[in-house]
């Protein structure tokens, strides 16, 4: 029977970041288990946006603590600096400016813009209905799968194990304590399990009688071909329409839109058949998109919590179980700091 000091369930970017942080923190033998291939879930479908500012200061702090590490890794993760805009509703402008001021004082490069300032500076976007915006000159995107595999490679070089095609069938526990995991390849004994399985997390805990407040939700993504006359836009997220977009290679733009489909089965493939609605929504910001050529699309998904903050804490129900799940499609840019906080929780219980 195999043993480990820490078992991490889920081989996406969050799980890989935690494995890397556990390995370099010297907490003992760390094992990462992924039932498919590394980055096969929502990580592989993420837009990879990198930014600091969020409407929630808790998420801003996670992103801010992670951002510099991404910049240090930019040669390994496919980082592209496009600049990044967050478009806010008028009623949010006062809070937006307060958060930008707080983050700027901490040394982060952010700028507050009024709607008219944004329209003058970024004329390739439509600004109707935008109350204000935050611009991050160093913002952009990177490749979440490259990042995942880089962290796994670094962790392996420090003696950690990472296994694809290894499905966790059951988290074993006795007298309120974790004792191991049962997989399709056998049992691994451990006193510490970190759950980072994204949209699969709630289902894995249900047999333990734990109702995890994480629900799966669909996200529609398409790649649109920009016409030659279109001005290349920065990456942006739009709180007024829920769309997000960024430039991609070969004259394409990635455009995403949450879909009101909840509690989906993430193991089922859903056809990408909602291009019309996505293009109509994106035309409010990218006027050329409604008639643009669609160069492929896909349905993505992630785990969502009611407050949008994710779950990052030890479980109340079982000692030795820690949660790192429910990041609403935005976990990539938070991963380094999530990993550091998980390691702190592990150290605190020793």
pLDDT digits (tens, 9 = 90+) for 110-141: 999 999 999 999 999 999 999 999 999 999 99
Cα 260 to its chain centre, rounded Å, is 19
State pTM to two decimals.
0.95
Classify strands 186-189 and 30-33 as parallel, antiparallel or unpaired. unpaired
What's the whole-number average pLDDT of the chain?
93
pLDDT at res. 10: 97
- Structural Rg of the chain based on CA atoms: 20
pLDDT tens string 148-186: 999 999 999 999 999 999 999 999 999 999 999 999 999
State the burial class of residue 101 (Cβ atoms within 10 Å of its Cβ: 0-12, 13-18, 19+). exposed
> Is 289 part of any domain?
yes
> 269 pLDDT exceeds 60?
no
Q: For residue 349, how many other CB atoms are within 10 A of its CB?
A: 11
> Is 62 part of any domain?
no
Q: Do both 229 and 293 map to the same domain?
A: yes
Q: Do both 283 and 227 map to the same domain?
A: yes
> 264 pLDDT exceeds 90?
no
pLDDT tens string 33-53: 999 999 998 999 899 999 999
Partnered with residue 247 across adjacent β-strands are 253
Q: Do both 297 and 312 map to the same domain?
A: no
- Terminal-residue alpha carbon distance, the chain: 23
The tally of domains found in the chain comes to: 2
230-249 mean pLDDT: 93
> Is 339 part of any domain?
yes
> 271 pLDDT exceeds 60?
no
262-284 mean pLDDT: 78
Q: For residue 119, how many other CB atoms are within 10 A of its CB?
A: 16
> Is 222 part of any domain?
yes
Q: Do both 221 and 206 map to the same domain?
A: no
Structural tokens at position 209: 């009688």
> Is 77 part of any domain?
no
pLDDT at res. 236: 97
266 is in which domain, residue-wise? 83-138+215-304
Q: Do both 322 and 299 map to the same domain?
A: no
> 18 pLDDT exceeds 70?
yes
pLDDT at res. 261: 86
1-13 mean pLDDT: 95
| Phi, psi angles (nearest 5°) of residue 318 | -135, 125
> 16 pLDDT exceeds 90?
yes
> Is 170 part of any domain?
yes
CATH number at residue 334: 3.50.50.60
Tell me the C-alpha to C-alpha distance, in Å, between residue 243 and each of 28, 33, 66, 209: 43, 33, 24, 36
CA–CA distance, 55 with 59 (Å, rounded to integer): 8
> Is 35 part of any domain?
yes
> Is 134 part of any domain?
yes
Q: For residue 314, how many other CB atoms are within 10 A of its CB?
A: 18
Q: Do both 151 and 293 map to the same domain?
A: no
> 272 pLDDT exceeds 60?
no
Q: Do both 110 and 231 map to the same domain?
A: yes
């Amino acid at each position: 029977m195999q043993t480990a000091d820490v078992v991490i369930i889920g081989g996406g970017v969050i799980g890989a970041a935690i494995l890397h942080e556990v390995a370099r923190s010297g907490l003992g033998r760390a094992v990462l288990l992924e039932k498919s291939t590394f980055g096969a879930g929502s990580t592989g479908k993420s837009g990879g946006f990198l930014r600091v500012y969020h409407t929630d200061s808790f998420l801003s702090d996670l992103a801010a603590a992670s951002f510099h590490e991404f910049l240090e890794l930019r040669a390994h993760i496919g980082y592209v600096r496009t600049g990044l805009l967050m478009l806010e509703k008028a009623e949010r402008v006062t809070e937006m400016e307060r958060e930008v001021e707080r983050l700027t004082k901490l040394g982060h490069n952010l700028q507050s813009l009024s709607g008219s300032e944004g329209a003058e500076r970024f004329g390739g976007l439509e600004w109707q209905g935008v109350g204000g915006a935050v611009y991050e000159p160093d913002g952009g995107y990177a490749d979440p799968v490259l990042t995942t595999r880089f962290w796994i490679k670094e962790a392996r070089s420090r003696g950690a194990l990472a296994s694809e095609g290894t499905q966790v069938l059951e988290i074993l526990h006795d007298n309120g304590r974790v004792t191991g995991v049962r997989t399709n390849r056998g049992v691994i004994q451990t006193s510490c399990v970190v759950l980072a399985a994204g949209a699969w997390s709630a289902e894995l805990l249900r047999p333990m009688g734990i109702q995890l407040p994480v629900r799966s939700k669909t996200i529609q993504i398409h790649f649109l071909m920009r016409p030659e006359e279109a001005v290349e836009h920065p990456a942006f997220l739009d709180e007024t329409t829920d769309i997000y977009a960024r430039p991609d290679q070969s004259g394409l733009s990635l455009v995403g839109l949450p879909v009101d489909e909840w509690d989906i089965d993430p193991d089922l493939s859903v056809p990408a058949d909602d291009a019309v609605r996505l293009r109509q929504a994106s035309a409010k910001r990218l006027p050329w998109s409604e008639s643009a050529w669609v160069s492929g699309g896909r349905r993505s998904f992630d785990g969502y919590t009611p407050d949008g903050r994710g779950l990052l804490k030890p479980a109340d129900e079982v000692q030795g179980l820690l949660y790192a799940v429910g990041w609403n499609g935005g976990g990539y840019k938070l991963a380094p700091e999530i990993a550091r906080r998980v390691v702190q929780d592990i150290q605190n219980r020793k």
